[in-house]
Chains A and B, each alone.
Chain A
Amino acid sequence: MQTYLDFEKPLAELEGKVRELQHLAQTNEATDIDAEVDTLRGKASKLLADTYKTLTPWQKTQVARHPERPHTSHYIDALITDFTPLAGDRSYGDDKALIGGMGRFRGRSVMILGTEKGHSTEGRVKHNFGMARPEGYRKAQRLMRMAERFGMPILTFVDTAGAYPGVGAEERGQAEAIARSVEVCLNVKVPIIAVIIGEGGSGGAVALAVGDRVMMLEHSIYSVISPEACSSILFKTSDRAIDAAEALKLTAQDLKRLRVADQVIPEPVGGAHRDAAATMMRVGDAIADALSMFRDMADDQLLERRRDKFLTIGRMPV
Chain B
Amino acid sequence: MSWLTNRVLPKIGLGRRKDGPDNLWEKCRACGQMVFHRDLEQSFRVCPHCDHHMRLTASQRLELLFDDGVFERLKTPQPPMDPLKFKDSRRYPDQIKDARSAAEADFAVEAGLGRIGGQSVVVAAQNFFFMGGSVSPGEGEAIVAAAERAVQEDAALIVCAASGGMRMQEGILSLMQMPRTTVAIQRLKEKGLPYISVLTDPTTGGTTASFAMIGDVAIAEPGALIGFAGPRVIEQTIREQLPDGFQRAEYLLEHGMVDMVVHRHELADTLGRILSLMREPVVAPPASLPPPEPVVIPEPDADSELMNTEPDSAEDDAGEVPEKSS
**Residues of chain A having any CB pair with chain B under 8 Å:** 163-167, 169-176, 178-180, 182-183, 185-187, 202-203, 206-207, 210, 222-225, 229-230, 233-236, 243, 247-250, 254-255, 258, 260, 307, 310-311, 313-318
A165 touches B229 (CB 8 A): yes
Which residues on B sit within 8 Å (CB–CB) of A315?
79, 137, 141
Which residues on A sit within 8 Å (CB–CB) of B180?
310-311, 313-314
* B 171-222 contacts with A by CB, 8 A: 171-176, 178-180, 182-184, 186-187, 205-206, 208-214
Which residues on B sit within 8 Å (CB–CB) of A169?
228-229
Contact flag A170-B183 (CB < 8 Å), given A179-B208, A182-B178, A248-B168: no
Which residues on B sit within 8 Å (CB–CB) of A234?
88-89, 168-169
Which residues on B sit within 8 Å (CB–CB) of A164?
237
Contact flag A175-B227 (CB < 8 Å), given A230-B168, A314-B176: yes
Which residues on A sit within 8 Å (CB–CB) of B255?
171-173
Would you call B74 an interface residue if the criterion is a C-beta within 8 Å of the partner chain's C-beta atoms? no
Contact of A186 among B179, B246, B256 (CB under 8 A): B179
Would you call B296 an interface residue if the criterion is a C-beta within 8 Å of the partner chain's C-beta atoms? no
B173 touches A170 (CB 8 A): no
Contact flag A166-B168 (CB < 8 Å), given A179-B213, A313-B173: no
Would you call B294 an interface residue if the criterion is a C-beta within 8 Å of the partner chain's C-beta atoms? no
A175 touches B84 (CB 8 A): no
Which residues on A sit within 8 Å (CB–CB) of B187?
307
A310 touches B171 (CB 8 A): no
B208 touches A175 (CB 8 A): yes
Closest A-chain residue to B254, C-beta based? A171
Closest B-chain residue to A312, C-beta based? B180
Would you call B290 an interface residue if the criterion is a C-beta within 8 Å of the partner chain's C-beta atoms? no
Q: What are some 8 contacts across the A-B interface (CB < 8 A)?
A: A175-B209, A176-B209, A224-B167, A224-B174, A235-B89, A307-B187, A313-B173, A313-B176
* B 233-256 contacts with A by CB, 8 A: 233-234, 237-238, 240, 242-243, 246-247, 251, 255-256
Contact flag A224-B175 (CB < 8 Å), given A183-B214, A310-B183: yes
| Complex CA–CA separation, A210 to B180 (angstroms) | 10
B228 touches A163 (CB 8 A): yes
